[in-house]
């Protein structure tokens, strides 16, 4: 099964649904059609989605973005520019024109136009685009009155089985509403993000729904529709939405004037508890995250977390893998305290940790090209937690990461270094600086991390 981001790549689809007046036919048997009335109680509301749609749909918008991309001619090898564009959805979350959408809808685009349900159109500028969460915040320009809004419900009180509506603009056919249920919560192992915990729904989501609203029966925004699992590129009943907790965090950062979302860290990493590991630990079932690395002097270290501990919760919310831990910790602000539930020696206990910004400079300017020795031609950069996080590497990883390897170089042809490799040891000694890779000779033992696997060998 292939994960695909929801982008408007499909053609306009029409189906033979009959006359629009077909369902309004009247005869002597049935008499006059019943008049629609406003629901009087919660029980009646649940019998029709119309009241929820009427309250929420005006705040869901269509986004059309245009830009220019540079492409390489596959035959002549020359580079040239060509126009590109994308179409998606968005949600108005503040009456003065603050709109939330997916980053992949507007990424690389210079001209963004937003159309409201009442056909008004506004240009928009990007306040903040967060690639990690795939959430972007836009400001509509030229807004002179109060726009309809959806309230962000970041309470996380949803349950599996709750009814939801997905509102967006799939295939460019105009605004549509589909209904379904929440089929899972806290989905982390999706391949979408290493710091995301998604709401899964079976409400039909298709290309063009990206950035649209997932709303509950109170008419609140509980998620932004982001991706689908699909073989065909169209809905197969498994869609994912970024939860409102993360949406609120990105919106708050944008409105606070931040240029990026600052996520704190706990300074620990680990592995999900498997069935075999659960038996070894004496657990009744697989749960939690076995801590394999603790950053010296980090928040987890200061709180007394040790390697071998099993983290089972953050602030009472269950944690079962690294993605879940990253999400729960990242939903806080630097300086906040979190309660970490863990198992140690078969006993459950709680420690308090003050989460902080990732240490180090996230800039990539210090990257250097090795000029001598067996690793000549490799562009490398020493890792610190901030750099590692920016490059999508576990922030507790120590070593020197390979950014690029020159074609035809010894490092590429003979050593086999690849982009993304992390050199962790040379001749059994830990590598922490790029200068340690200068003048490495043939016959040296090298250990690297490649896609999470530790690989060792002799340079020949």
Catalytic residues: 104, 134, 210
3-class SS at 408? coil
Judge contact between 109 and 136, C-beta under 8 A: no
Judge contact between 63 and 90, C-beta under 8 A: yes
DSSP secondary structure letters along 3-59: EEE--S-SPP-------TTGGG---TTT-SPPPP----SHHHHTT-SHHHHHHHGGG
- Distances, alpha carbon 108 to alpha carbons 9, 13, 28, 206, 353, in Å: 17, 28, 60, 22, 38
- Distances, alpha carbon 460 to alpha carbons 316, 418, 441, 443, in Å: 52, 16, 9, 6
Report residue 354 CA to chain centroid gap. Answer: 24
Of 373, 433, 419, 420, whose CA–CA distance to 394 is shortest? 420
- Distances, alpha carbon 376 to alpha carbons 183, 368, 427, 429, 442, in Å: 52, 11, 17, 20, 12
3-state secondary structure 350-378: EEEEECEECCCCCCCCCCEECCCCCCCCE
Which helix (H) or strand (E) is 178 found in, with range? strand 176-187
Name residue, tokens 């690389």: 108
For 127, phi then psi, to 5°, come to -85, -40
Judge contact between 353 and 305, C-beta under 8 A: yes
Structure-token pair, residue 390: 């920016």
Which residues share a beta bridge with 350?
341
Long-range contact set of residues 324-329: C-beta below 8 Å, sequence gap at least 24: 324/186, 324/188, 324/197, 324/289, 325/266, 325/268, 325/270, 325/289, 326/194, 326/195, 326/263, 327/188, 327/195, 327/196, 327/197, 327/246, 328/197, 329/263, 329/264, 329/265, 329/266, 329/355
């Amino acid at each position: 099964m292939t994960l695909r981001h929801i982008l408007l790549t499909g053609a306009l689809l029409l189906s033979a649904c009959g006359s629009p007046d077909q369902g309004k036919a009247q005869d002597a048997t049935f008499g006059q059609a019943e008049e629609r009335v406003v629901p009087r109680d919660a029980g009646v509301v649940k019998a029709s989605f119309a009241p929820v749609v009427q309250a929420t749909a005006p705040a869901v918008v269509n986004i059309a973005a245009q830009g220019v991309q540079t492409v390489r001619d596959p035959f002549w090898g020359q580079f040239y520019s060509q126009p590109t564009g994308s179409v998606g959805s968005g949600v108005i979350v503040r009456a003065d024109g603050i709109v939330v959408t997916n980053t992949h809808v507007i990424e690389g685009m210079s001209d963004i136009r937003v159309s409201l349900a009442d056909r008004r159109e506004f240009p928009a500028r990007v306040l903040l685009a967060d690639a990690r969460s795939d959430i972007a915040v836009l400001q509509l320009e030229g807004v002179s009155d109060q726009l309809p809004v959806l309230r962000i419900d970041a309470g996380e009180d949803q349950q599996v089985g709750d009814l939801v509506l997905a509102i967006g603009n799939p295939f460019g056919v105009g605004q549509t509403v589909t209904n379904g249920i929440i089929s899972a919560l806290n989905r982390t192992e999706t391949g979408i993000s290493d710091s995301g915990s998604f709401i899964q729904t079976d409400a039909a989501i298709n290309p063009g729904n990206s950035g649209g609203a997932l709303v509950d029966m109170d008419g609140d925004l509980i998620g932004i529709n982001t991706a689908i699992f699909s073989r065909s590129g169209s809905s197969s009943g498994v869609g994912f939405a970024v939860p409102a907790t993360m949406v609120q965090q990105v919106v708050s950062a944008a409105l606070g004037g931040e240029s990026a979302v600052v996520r704190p860290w706990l300074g620990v990493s680990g592995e999900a508890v498997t069935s075999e590991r659960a038996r070894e630990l004496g657990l009744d079932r697989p749960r939690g995250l076995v801590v394999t690395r603790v950053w010296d002097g980090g928040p987890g270290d200061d709180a007394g977390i040790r390697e071998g501990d099993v983290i089972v919760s953050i602030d009472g919310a269950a944690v079962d893998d690294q993605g879940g831990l990253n999400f729960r910790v990242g939903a806080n602000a630097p300086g906040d305290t979190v309660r970490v539930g863990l198992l140690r020696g078969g006993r459950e206990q709680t420690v308090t940790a003050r989460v902080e910004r990732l240490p180090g400079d996230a800039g990539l300017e210090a990257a250097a090209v090795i000029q001598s020795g067996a690793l000549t031609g490799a562009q490398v950069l020493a890792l610190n937690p901030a750099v590692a996080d920016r490059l999508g590497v576990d922030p507790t990883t120590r070593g020197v990461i390979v950014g690029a390897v020159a074609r035809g170089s010894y490092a590429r042809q003979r050593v086999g270094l690849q982009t993304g490799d992390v050199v962790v040891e040379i001749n059994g000694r830990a590598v922490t600086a790029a200068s340690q890779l200068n003048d490495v000779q043939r016959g040296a033992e090298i250990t690297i991390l490649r896609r999470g696997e530790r690989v060792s060998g002799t340079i020949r």
